[in-house]
Every structure is written in C-alpha cells, then in structure tokens.
Amino acid sequence: MAEPVLALEGLRKQFGGLVVTDQVTLSVAPGELHAVIGPNGAGKTTLINQISGVLPSDSGRILFAGHDITRLPPHERARRGLARTFQITSVLPAFSALENVAVAVQAHAGSSYRFVGDAAAEPALNGPALAALEEVGLAERADVPAGHLSHGEKRALELAMALVTEPKLLLLDEPMAGTGREETARLIAVLRRLKGRFAMMLVEHDMTAVFALADHISVLIYGRILLSGKPDEVREDPQVVAAYLGDEIEFER
C-alpha cells in the first residue's frame, strides 16, 4: 500500500473544559476521497481546522506526505499542497471570479513579491485560472465579482481556487451546505470528475453526496472516531445505524 497523503495520530483539541476532538486517528490514501460524517457538534469542522492549521492541536500528530506538519502555520501547510474550502463560503467578494482563482494560481506559483506589472493582465495567471473555472462550470461568470455569485457558484469557485494550487489533499468542509438540489447535483458531478487527481477529505451532512462520492468513510461522534471503513461497511454497521444514521437516511445508489 502506498504511503498515505495524510495520517492523523491521536489528534486532540480542547476548548476550556470541552473536549471537541479526541484521539482522532485516520489516514487518507493518495487519490482517495475520504468522507468524515457525524452529527452536529461532533467536531468535524474543528478537525478540518486542526488539519489546515487554523486551530493548533493540543496533542497528537499530523503527518502530511510523510512529514510532520503539526506545528506548522497554515500558510506553510497550504504551500506544501494542503488546500481547503470553508463551511461558510470564503471567497474574496470584491474580486471577480477570475481574479479569485488567479490569486490562487499566484499563491501556487509562489512569486508574489513582484511590485511591477499588471497582475490582472498576466496570461500565466489568467490561463490556468480560466481553465479551472471551465472545469467547475463557471467560465461564463469569470468577470462577475465573487460577492455577486450565487451560493452554489461560490462553492464551485472555492473548488476552482483549490484546484489550481494542484493540491495533494483537498479538505472540503460541507461543500453542499445551503445549496439547492440542482446545485448539489452539479457539485457532485464536478467532484466526481475531479476524483482521483488528488486526495480529498470531505466533511458533509448530505448523505446522498457522501455515498455517491466517498471511497472511505469515517464516523465521528463526540470527537472520537466511531468507525472507519468502506461505504458499504459503514452503511450496514448496526452501531452506526443505531447511533447516527437511524432510519431517516435514504440511500440512493
């Protein structure tokens, strides 16, 4: 088996007296889409924040492509190929969609201390950016300020921004939250197209999306991994069904 892109070892985060994540151990293989599911307050977003470095971890280790990144600042992690989207969409609202992606290209290109030259007119930045917009189906909205995009479009834009950084791993924090049925279907299609190019960790409530996309699923409850396995195993695990999935979940195949 190939070396995992991401390996978490006993990760823990505590806010005051409240333990939010505890002894989280899991690994993501290259090219794999690993979904993390769990009820509200299970610590999913905290986990994403710990991995991306927005929150420091109290204990445990984060190995990324074999290197310990537990103590690295977020921008350092990003530079090593760890990209993320946010639960609440996070784009640059005053910038056009194209410029949003172009900034991401620029981040990846790593030469941002250039004080001359019109960045907005650089083919080296705009070319890949436009291509990424194409991939997520936003090419026609390239000139629209990101603040004016619909919710689903912002999600797609975030994806495009992550794409151009050619990440080794993409952390997706509830990309389907707040999107309409139609947009959800479109996003699922986009993600399916991207699958295999890099590893993804998907935190999601929408079980349709999770079971449509995931190669591997971990169930997080009260900050701990309850179970980790293939979608079929998870679906059929009585413990999960009882504790979390219940009867309400409809499965589509």
Partner 1 sequence: MTQAVGPVEAAPRTRRSRAAVALPLVLFAALALLPLVTAALSAGYMLDLFVRVMIFAIAALSVDLLIGYAALVTFGQAAFVGLGAYAVGMLGAHEITDLTIALPVALLASGLFALVTGLVCLRTKGVYFIMITLAFGQMAFFTASSLAPYGGDDGLTVHERSTLFGVAVLDRPVVFYYVVLAALLAVYLTCRTLIASRFGRVLRGAKDNALRMTTLGFQVYRFQLVAYVIAGMIAGLAGVLLANATEFVSPAYMSWQRSGELIIMVLLGGLGTLHGAVLGAIAFLLLEEWLATLTEHWKMIFGPLLVLVVVFVRGGLIGIGTALAGAVSRRLRRG
CB of 13 to partner 1, least distance (A): 18
Give the torsion through C-alpha atoms of 242, 240, 187, 121, to 10 deg: 130
Q: What Cα–Cα distance (Å) separates residue 228 from each residue in 23, 87, 128, 213, 219?
A: 14, 23, 36, 16, 6
Chain positions 143 to 162 lying near partner 1, rule: CB under 8 A, are 143-144, 148, 161
Contact call for residue 92 and partner 1 (CB under 8 A): yes
CB of 38 or CB of 81, closer to partner 1: 81
Contact call for residue 123 and partner 1 (CB under 8 A): no
Contact call for residue 136 and partner 1 (CB under 8 A): no
Residue carrying the six token digits 């349709």: 208
Kindly state the number of chain residues that form the binding site for partner 1, as judged by CB under 8 A.
42
CB of 239 to partner 1, least distance (A): 35
**Single-letter code of the amino acid located at 227:** L
Chain positions 208 to 237 lying near partner 1, rule: CB under 8 A, are none
Contact call for residue 138 and partner 1 (CB under 8 A): no
Instruction: For the chain, count helices (H), then strands (E).
Output: 9, 10
Chain positions 157 to 196 lying near partner 1, rule: CB under 8 A, are 161, 165
Chain positions 98 to 117 lying near partner 1, rule: CB under 8 A, are 99, 102-104, 106-108, 111-117
Alpha carbons 87 and 42: distance in angstroms, whole number:
15
Alpha helices in 53-122 (DSSP H): 74-79, 97-109
* Cβ–Cβ under 8 Å, residues 66 and 3: yes
**Pairing outcome for strands 82-84 and 169-173:** parallel
CB of 77 to partner 1, least distance (A): 8
CB of 116 to partner 1, least distance (A): 5
CB of 117 to partner 1, least distance (A): 6
Going residue by residue from 51 to 70, which x/- string records binding to partner 1, judged by CB under 8 A?
A: -x-x----------------
* Cβ–Cβ under 8 Å, residues 190 and 138: no
Contact call for residue 50 and partner 1 (CB under 8 A): no
Single residue of 39, 56, 68, 90 touching partner 1 by CB under 8 A? 90
* Cβ–Cβ under 8 Å, residues 48 and 173: yes
* Cβ–Cβ under 8 Å, residues 176 and 206: yes
Contact call for residue 3 and partner 1 (CB under 8 A): no
Alpha helices in the chain (DSSP H): 44-52, 74-79, 97-109, 123-135, 151-164, 181-194, 207-213, 231-236, 238-240
Contact call for residue 93 and partner 1 (CB under 8 A): yes
Report the interface residues with partner 1, using CB under 8 A: 52, 54, 73-75, 78-79, 83-84, 86, 90-95, 99, 102-104, 106-108, 111-120, 122, 125, 140-141, 143-144, 148, 161, 165
